């Protein structure tokens, strides 16, 4: 694209798209919108308001907020003035917030609400670097929230300061924005931390200029595309989506919450969807559940349609000639069955992207059979989000695709995936030792993931180096692949596999309570609580048989031989999942250590 910075990209795109809608969002129960020009006006006001307070290029500004349109506007204000955005997950605990603020040295803290601000102790040492707190929603008594060393403003007040400052210094915004260069620092994104403390990944404008160019080359899009933003903007994947909106000239709709995604899809009607596997998994479970509870005729139609769709999908992937009979069958399958699935995604979805965690090949194949292509990709915060992705014209389910143009991939002798390219991080912020450990002298980033490259160059992720299970028999087993396979059973919501230095693989199973209750009604059983459900012998028997069937498709060393059912699914709130829904294995192992020890001591196998 030839831009000098993300600020240059943003301002150029505003000139190009002007009065077209950039953002759609819900406020006070009504859907509203901002054009590109309206968005720029607000970005300028926020930026100049910060400058009037004394915020300058190189300062860090943290955003502790759930997704909302103001998050994007604040970030673009920072990007245009050389201020480094430090995202903080809205689910972060107070100690996590203080640790990030203190480590990053953020002088500005944006919070979305008075309620979130109340959760912070303004006298805590972790707030020492913070000079200004800016509350996005204008409720609560801001004066009472202020401490001696920190001043609290509403975002509206900051914008008003910006408007006044603009009267005498209006040229400052453009001067700073157009002075920024690719080598200037852009952001510090703290990893979600499945193991140990999160690290601050420092990247520049150049990192993400390369990234948006490479992604657009791999996954072509146009300024007619529409996306639904529900991935956390605090995560590098959600942040890249936010940058892609401007780079591609999309219209971006903000989901009201994770709980309203299904309804928001019908309002925004996206053409392109960036998501984590869990959204596709949930949709897959709902579709299969509805098909199973329909009339006999509906079930027959559904099975026939999926069979036709799978055949059509297989022919497409193998490059075989598709005969007219199959084309007609696929057309009928779409009209009679699959059109409803497409309608649930808004009715005009042309492309879906999956990242952040492994996607089951079974789910990708199912959706392709319905006419929805999901392209799986891979990357890390340290690689500016993406290193690999499948292409619409060349893809393999069960892989994360080919490297982006300009990115090199190599598999080390121990199976670790190494990456090199212009997207590799500048450094871990204030952590030279960690940087040196992750980036070797030849510029290879050591991902910590295990994988293999096939003859066509497609990368398959097989596990996480630190998560590898080495059984007492010496077998190396990647737990994620087994977990994703078992989770395709509709009665199972989540799984964690373990068995390091044990004779066999074991698993903790979290039930899909809704599906189990449906099964119970058919069997004349009622469950008064999740605890009763998890301990019921009939449920244990059903799960045991389902895992036994799954084991038939696993190698003997991978097969789950012992399991326990836990009453509740793993959650972010309990610290068992990262904000992108990855398992924090050490937390889970500690929480359920008695059950795990019981399985390890068990002299006989459950299965």
Q: What CATH number has the domain bearing residue 596?
A: 3.30.300.30
Question: Would 69 be classed as within a structural domain?
Answer: yes
Q: Region 227-255: what's the mean pLDDT?
A: 97
Q: Region 197-226: what's the mean pLDDT?
A: 96
Residue ending a domain, choose from 242, 271, 300: 271
**Pair 422, 554 in one domain:** no
**Pair 161, 91 in one domain:** yes
User: Which one-letter DSSP state was computed for residue 338?
Assistant: I
Residue ending a domain, choose from 465, 488, 516: 465
Question: Would 321 be classed as within a structural domain?
Answer: yes
Tokens of 324: 């007219």
Q: Mean of the per-residue pLDDT values for the chain? A: 93
Q: Region 502-528: what's the mean pLDDT?
A: 93
Residues 89, 233: Cα–Cα separation, whole Å: 8
**pLDDT value of position 603:** 46
Is the predicted pLDDT of residue 135 greater than 50, yes or no?
A: yes
Residue 223 binned pLDDT confidence (cut-offs 50, 70, 90):
very high
**Pair 284, 234 in one domain:** no
**pLDDT value of position 148:** 63
Burial 559-591 (b: 16+ CB within 10 A, else e): bbbbbbbbeeebebeeebbbbbbbbbbeebeeb
**Pair 392, 409 in one domain:** yes
Q: Region 418-428: what's the mean pLDDT?
A: 98
**Pair 285, 336 in one domain:** yes
Question: Would 201 be classed as within a structural domain?
Answer: no
Question: Would 205 be classed as within a structural domain?
Answer: no
**pLDDT, tens digit, 9 for 90 and up, residues 8-59:** 999 999 999 999 999 999 999 999 999 999 999 999 999 999 999 999 999 9
Tokens of 126: 């972790």
Residue ending a domain, choose from 465, 499, 516: 465
Is the predicted pLDDT of residue 408 greater than 60, yes or no?
A: yes
Is the predicted pLDDT of residue 142 greater than 70, yes or no?
A: no
**Pair 253, 149 in one domain:** yes
Question: Would 192 be classed as within a structural domain?
Answer: no
Question: Would 255 be classed as within a structural domain?
Answer: yes
The CATH number given to whatever domain includes residue 253 is 3.40.50.980
Q: How many domains does the chain have?
A: 3
Provide the CA 119 distance to its chain's centre, in angstroms: 25
Q: Region 532-548: what's the mean pLDDT?
A: 95
**pLDDT value of position 73:** 98
Domain residue limits at 494:
468-601
Is the predicted pLDDT of residue 301 greater than 60, yes or no?
A: yes
Q: Are the C-beta atoms of 283 and 344 separated by less than 8 Å?
A: yes
Give every CB contact of residue 203 below 8 A, 6+ residues apart in sequence. 185, 186, 187, 189, 384, 425, 426
**pLDDT value of position 316:** 93
**pLDDT value of position 196:** 60
**Pair 425, 476 in one domain:** no
Q: What's the order of all strands across the beta sheet hosting 272-275?
A: 272-275, 351-354, 374-378, 388-389, 402-403
Provide the CA 588 distance to its chain's centre, in angstroms: 21
Residue 420 binned pLDDT confidence (cut-offs 50, 70, 90):
very high
**pLDDT value of position 348:** 97
Mean pLDDT lowest for which of 151-155, 320-324, 412-416, 468-472?
468-472
**pLDDT value of position 153:** 96
The CATH number given to whatever domain includes residue 381 is 3.40.50.12780
Residues 201, 383: Cα–Cα separation, whole Å: 9
**Pair 321, 362 in one domain:** yes
Question: Would 22 be classed as within a structural domain?
Answer: yes
What percent of the chain has pLDDT above 90?
Answer: 81
Residue 171 binned pLDDT confidence (cut-offs 50, 70, 90):
very high
Give every CB contact of residue 400 below 8 A, 6+ residues apart in sequence. 376, 377, 378, 388, 389, 390, 458, 459, 460, 461
**Pair 281, 316 in one domain:** yes
- More confident: 138 or 409: 409
What percent of the chain has pLDDT above 70?
Answer: 97
**Pair 155, 300 in one domain:** no
Question: Would 586 be classed as within a structural domain?
Answer: yes
**3 φ/ψ angles, rounded to the nearest 5 degrees:** -80, 155
**Pair 162, 149 in one domain:** yes
Is the predicted pLDDT of residue 93 greater than 90, yes or no?
A: no
Residues 9, 12: Cα–Cα separation, whole Å: 5
**Pair 448, 520 in one domain:** no
């Amino acid at each position: 694209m030839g831009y000098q910075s993300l600020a240059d990209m943003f301002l150029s795109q505003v000139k190009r798209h002007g009065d077209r809608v950039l953002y759609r969002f819900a406020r006070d129960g009504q859907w509203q919108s901002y054009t590109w020009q309206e968005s720029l006006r607000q970005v300028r006001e926020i930026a100049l308001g910060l400058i009037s307070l004394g915020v300058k290029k190189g300062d860090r500004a943290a955003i502790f907020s759930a997704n909302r349109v103001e998050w994007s506007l604040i970030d673009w204000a920072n990007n245009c003035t050389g201020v480094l955005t430090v995202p903080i997950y809205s689910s972060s605990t107070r100690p996590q917030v203080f640790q990030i603020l203190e480590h990053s040295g953020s002088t500005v803290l944006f919070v979305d609400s008075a309620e979130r601000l109340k959760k912070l102790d303004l006298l805590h040492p972790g707030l020492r670097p913070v000079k200004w707190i800016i509350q996005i929603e204008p409720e609560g008594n801001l004066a009472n929230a202020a401490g001696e060393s920190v001043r609290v403003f509403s975002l509206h007040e900051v914008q008003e300061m910006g408007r006044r400052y603009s009267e005498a210094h209006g040229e400052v915004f453009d001067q700073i924005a157009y002075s920024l260069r690719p080598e200037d620092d852009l952001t510090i994104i703290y990893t979600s931390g499945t193991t140990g403390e999160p690290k601050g990944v420092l990247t520049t404008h150049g990192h993400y200029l390369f990234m948006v160019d490479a992604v657009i080359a791999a996954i072509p899009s146009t300024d007619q595309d529409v996306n639904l933003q529900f991935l956390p903007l605090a995560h590098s994947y959600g942040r890249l989506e936010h940058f892609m909106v401007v780079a591609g000239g999309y219209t971006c709709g903000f989901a009201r919450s994770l709980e309203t995604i299904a309804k928001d899809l019908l309002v925004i009607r996206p053409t392109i969807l960036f998501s984590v596997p869990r959204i596709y998994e949930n949709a897959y479970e709902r579709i299969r559940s509805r098909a199973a509870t329909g009339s006999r005729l509906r079930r027959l139609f559904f099975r026939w349609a999926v069979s036709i769709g799978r055949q059509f999908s297989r022919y497409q992937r193998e490059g075989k000639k598709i005969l007219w009979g199959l084309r007609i069958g696929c057309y009928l399958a779409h009209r009679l069955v699959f059109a409803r699935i497409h309608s649930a995604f808004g009715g005009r979805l042309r492309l879906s992207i999956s990242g952040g965690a492994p996607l089951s090949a079974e789910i990708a194949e199912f959706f392709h059979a319905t006419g929805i292509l999901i392209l799986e990709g891979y990357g890390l915060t340290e690689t500016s989000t993406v290193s690999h992705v499948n292409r619409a014209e060349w893809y393999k389910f069960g892989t994360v695709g080919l490297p982006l143009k300009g990115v090199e991939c190599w598999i080390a002798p121990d199976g670790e995936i190494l990456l090199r390219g212009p997207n590799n991080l500048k450094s871990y912020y204030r952590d030279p030792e960690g940087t040196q450990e992750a980036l070797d002298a030849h510029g290879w980033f050591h991902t910590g993931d295990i994988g293999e490259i096939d003859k066509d160059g497609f990368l398959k992720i097989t596990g996480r180096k630190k998560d590898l299970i080495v059984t007492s028999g010496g077998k190396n087993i990647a737990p994620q692949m087994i977990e994703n396979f078992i989770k395709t059973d509709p009665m199972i919501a989540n799984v964690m596999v373990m068995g390091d230095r044990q004779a066999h693989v074991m698993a903790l199973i979290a039930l899909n309570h809704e599906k189990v209750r449906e099964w119970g009604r058919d069997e004349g059983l009622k469950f008064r609580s999740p605890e009763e459900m998890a301990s019921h012998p009939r449920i244990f028997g059903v799960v045991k048989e389902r895992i036994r069937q799954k084991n038939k498709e696993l190698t003997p060393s991978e097969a789950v031989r012992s399991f326990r059912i836990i009453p509740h699914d793993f959650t972010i709130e309990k610290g068992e999942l990262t904000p992108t829904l990855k398992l924090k294995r050490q937390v889970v192992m500690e929480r359920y250590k008695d059950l795990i020890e019981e399985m390890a001591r068990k002299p006989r196998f459950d299965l």
